[in-house]
Structure 1
Amino acid sequence: MRRLLFDYALLPCGWAKDVAIDIDGGMIRSVQAGADPVDCEHIAGIALPGLPNLHSHTFQRGMAGLAETRGPEGDSFWTWRQVMYRFLGQLTPDDVEAIAAYAMMEMLEGGFTALAEFHYLHHDRDGRPYANPAELATRIVAAAQETGMGLTLLPVFYANGGFGGMVPADGQRRFISDAANYRRLVEGARNAIAGLDDAVVGIAPHSLRAVTPQSLGEILPLSEGGPIHIHVAEQIKEVEDCLAWSGQRPVEWLLDHAPIDQRWCLIHATHLGPRETRRIAASGAVAGVCPITEANLGDGIFDGVDFLAASGSFGVGSDSNIEINAAAELRQLEYSQRLKLRGRNLLAEREGQSTGRSLYEKALAGGQRALGRRIGSIAVDHRADFVVLDASHPDLSAVSGDRWIDAYVFVASKAAIDRVIVAGKSVVMNGRHHRREAIRDRYAGTLARILA
């Protein structure tokens, strides 16, 4: 049993001082505010529940910045995707692990303590399956083990190149599976996480353009009650192609043909009609919003104000990992609403409410559901995951309470993070991961070879 004492902590009931937390087996066993410091390990600072990252493709961290040169015609998500295909065509299993470890290290230093990895890179560079169909999934698990990142692993089912069962493109050869091979992949992923504490495997049909109605129905039972994530309505072209194929918009089709409920996370959902917004909220599905990537790719703006008005649940993810920063994702989400609607404090729902705290707590709740784990709260029987802010940071030192979160989200960002604790173990101290040098050097060597 380990007993920590935080100067301040954000509990489900609000802010508390001198908070003692008993931890055993990585889980919180008791929480006591106003505790006596005797026999406690003092952790100076302001403890927040660790934020879940509900959507990432870690391998894309290695290509960050490679698609920022203007092309001969209109650049878009679809031209960015060609850069991505060329990059991933070079990756070995060792490369995948090195890049994943670096991305996870940055996530921990940036305020994320748990990850839903939407993992769709499965085969060798020529498209042939590895002897172990879950070879690359095991590399994601190894990276999580090295860094200390909490993991929900989502092997992706990707069977087609477009709506209506189109033949895949050559650049997609490392993704493609049929339902039988996907079953083996999911089984392999479950075997791979056996050595990780509190890890979860879910499933991820990539998108409606990558599956058929028949294959979607075949793989859904493989979730075994766990999380189900899917990309949906990210691009206008995607919506137009879905209408041409089915006569319905992507979210309409999903809600009418799939058992959407609280296990589901609909990633992006940046192009919704008012009825779709209300129906997602009513279904209990989590909207997985990735504001920095959505801005970088020119996807569009999620309708956060109307979604919250319909009592919808959301979380945030780092997706392409062009920038990895939990506070920045929340800030970009709020700022996108401000730019769209020309107002301020739009995702705080009542007068006097802190926008930073509103964003943070909603992303905690949605992220917990999307990852299918007992995380996101400083409460008994939850994982002992904490982001500890430096109370002496100039932007935090003169304020208190909700102003701490406002300063963290809108001003200081990850520079305010002093320590990160996952499952009761400190993995980041003084803002730096305890294995930073080794992970950084391996990553730098990987990129030097790939990009030479």
Structure 2
Amino acid sequence: MRANYGVGTMRRLIFDHALLPDGWADRVALTIADGWIEKIEPDATGDGERIAGIALPGMPDLHSHAFQRGMAGLAETRGPASDSFWTWRQVMYRFLDRLTPESVEAISAYAMMQMVEGGFTALAEFHYLHHGPDGQPYADRAELSARIAAAAQASGIGLTLLPVFYAHGGFGGLPPTEGQRRFVNDLDGFARLLEGAGKALTALPDARLGLAPHSLRAATPEEITALAGMVPDGPVHIHIAEQMQEVESCLAWSGRRPVEWLLENQQVDGRWCLVHATHLLPAETTAMAASGAVAGLCPLTEANLGDGIFDGVNYLAQGGRYGIGSDSNIELDAPGELKMLEYSQRLRDRGRNLMVRGQEGASTGRALYDAALDGGAQALGRRIGALAAGHRADIVVLDANHPDIALARGDRWLDSYIFVAGKSAIDRVIVGGEILVEGGRHRARDALAARYRAALDGLRG
């Protein structure tokens, strides 16, 4: 559980080095009150809690299905037919069929703990598992949303909860399949679920409620319009154009590709996050960048599922905003997601240092980190992603003595962190002013790992 420092608690942390909005600074003091940064002092003097190392703003994870952490590795066996996202989905349906509220909470808490150890300090949970194994709602319709909130509290990670609306099994309002029975709501039932989810967040500091139409195949146009008004100021996320089969089915239904249809038929703006958006034509890339929406990229999962490669180079050149997410949680690694994003562009275009806007000599690591901070903060709808007054005190501290970064300086710290050392360079992680990770290890790791193992044993039993 999180420590409670009490209302009015103030701390002054002094870091050897820190990445501030206007660049790198040495001996930086952060005055933190009730989890928020009140004051920044470069070249600080005076007393405080000295924390050795290199302080970075904590990275937001803008897309996760936490329960899927428990099935990591189960879909890596070749089947009798050609494997794809769609065959992986059948493995996922079989896995979730046995999940209980207790196992959902235990698996989610373990995943969130690993996110914090891997450099993520806040999470947008795209939560679509709502009902019991028979498809019937729990007595508390938001039972599983409350379990996600409890997992966030146990791990300490910041939370934007996105209850997912899922009503159909294909474009044009097709009926859902048997494997989707735990997801399905009508609009009235979803409104009650959303109300209960909001109540479940009240015990968490600085939690945010948004919502997510699952996809164009799972919600009709009329339903998406109604949903967008249910949380008028909250984030709206949607899966879109992840697979070519989805694009082809959307064309058959509407005569438009998924992103093309969405931008033509909804008021897509800065509170939207379009997750994956893998398969776009150039005109869609241009229009999406102009909309102000965030592209929710999950490079490790997209590689694992064989989704394809987002056109990051052209999107970035047109001012498009993006962030990173862990999606299926096969590997919880913030620098690893950024590295995979850059490497996927290099493999496609046979070039190097591609996700950089700016002059020759600009750091790729810095460009990736800054962009993912900004886009992630926007997608989560929270004051995070910067070491600045008025922001949540979410901080990742790199070990300055790590062999792979010890001789670096400034932006080269980020290049070495992302492309060489990875999460092994993380020494401490602070969320809301609380130190959750020291020496690379979460303070609740043993307890949460034991609950996770017990949950998986129960699923096998």
1:223-248 Cα shifts (integer Å, max 9, x gaps): 22110000000000000000000000
Pair 1:79 & 2:108 matched: no
SS of aligned partner of 1:322: coil
Q: Report the Cα offset of residue 349 of structure 1.
A: 1.8
Q: Report the Cα offset of residue 449 of structure 1.
A: 2.1
2:315 equivalent in structure 1? 307
Q: Report the Cα offset of residue 450 of structure 1.
A: 1.2
Q: Distance in 1 between matches of 2:132 and 2:67?
A: 14
Q: Distance in 1 between matches of 2:39 and 2:110?
A: 33
The residue type equivalent to 2:183 in the other structure is F
Q: Report the Cα offset of residue 217 of structure 1.
A: 1.5
Pair 1:29 & 2:38 matched: yes
Q: Distance in 1 between matches of 2:316 and 2:102?
A: 42
Q: Distance in 2 between matches of 1:182 and 1:307?
A: 34
Pair 1:39 & 2:56 matched: no
Q: Report the Cα offset of residue 368 of structure 1.
A: 0.4
Pair 1:254 & 2:262 matched: yes
Q: Which of 142, 148, 157 is the aligned partner of 2:156? A: 148
2:416 equivalent in structure 1? 407
1:3 equivalent in structure 2? 12
1:73-113 Cα shifts (integer Å, max 9, x gaps): 01000000000000000000000000000000000000000
SS of aligned partner of 1:17: strand
Q: Report the Cα offset of residue 192 of structure 1.
A: 0.5
2:4 equivalent in structure 1? none
SS of aligned partner of 1:299: coil
1:340 equivalent in structure 2? 348
Pair 1:349 & 2:357 matched: yes
Pair 1:364 & 2:355 matched: no
2:325 equivalent in structure 1? 317
Q: Which of 286, 293, 299 is the aligned partner of 1:291? A: 299
Q: Distance in 2 between matches of 1:376 and 1:217?
A: 30
Q: Distance in 2 between matches of 1:195 and 1:446?
A: 24
Pair 1:447 & 2:456 matched: yes
Q: Distance in 2 between matches of 1:433 and 1:265?
A: 30
Q: Distance in 2 between matches of 1:261 and 1:46?
A: 35
The residue type equivalent to 1:419 in the other structure is R
Q: Distance in 2 between matches of 1:399 and 1:329?
A: 22
1:234-283 Cα shifts (integer Å, max 9, x gaps): 00000000000000000011001111000000000000000000101000
2:429 equivalent in structure 1? 420
1:110 equivalent in structure 2? 118
1:136-192 Cα shifts (integer Å, max 9, x gaps): 000000011111100000000000000000010000000000000010111111100
Q: Distance in 2 between matches of 1:31 and 1:266?
A: 34
Q: Report the Cα offset of residue 451 of structure 1.
A: 2.8
2:402 equivalent in structure 1? 393
Q: Which runs of 5+ in 1 are unaligned?
A: none
Pair 1:197 & 2:200 matched: no
Aligned length: 451
Q: Report the Cα offset of residue 25 of structure 1.
A: 1.2
Q: Distance in 2 between matches of 1:227 and 1:373?
A: 10
The residue type equivalent to 2:140 in the other structure is N
2:29 equivalent in structure 1? 20
1:48 equivalent in structure 2? 56
Pair 1:161 & 2:169 matched: yes
- Which runs of structure 1 show a deviation greater than 3 angstroms over 4 or more consecutive aligned residues? none
Q: Distance in 1 between matches of 2:460 and 2:95?
A: 9
Q: Which of 423, 431, 439 is the aligned partner of 2:440? A: 431
SS of aligned partner of 1:378: coil
Q: Which of 222, 225, 235 is the aligned partner of 2:230? A: 222
SS of aligned partner of 1:396: coil
Q: Report the Cα offset of residue 214 of structure 1.
A: 1.2
Identity over the aligned pairs, expressed in percent?
A: 65
